[in-house]
Structure 1
Amino acid sequence: MRTRRENRGRNAAAANRVALIGAAREQFASEGFDASLSAIARQAGVGQGSLYRHFPDRVSLALAVFDDNVTALEALAATPASTLDDLLALITEQTAASVAFIDMLHASDEDPRLRDVVGRVRDLLDGKLRAARHDGRIRPTVTADDLLLAVRMVAGLLAKSVPGERAELADRAWAMLRPAITG
Structure 2
Amino acid sequence: MTKKNLGPCSVRNCQINPKQYCEITDNAFRKAKEKGTFSQYNYLEIRKQLCYPHYLEIIEPNHHNVKKSPTNNLQDSVVRKPLSFGDKITLMTKILYNKQRKENQILELDPTYFQTMLESAEPLLEGFFDELCNAFISERWSAYNKKEDKKKVVNICYSIVAMRNRLVNNYPLEIGLYLAASGASCDAIDTMH
TM (norm. structure 2) is 0.33
Higher Rg of the two aligned structures: 2
TM (norm. structure 1) is 0.34
Name whichever structure is richer in helix by fraction.
1
Of structures 1 and 2, the one with the larger relative CO (CA 8 A, separation 6+) is 1
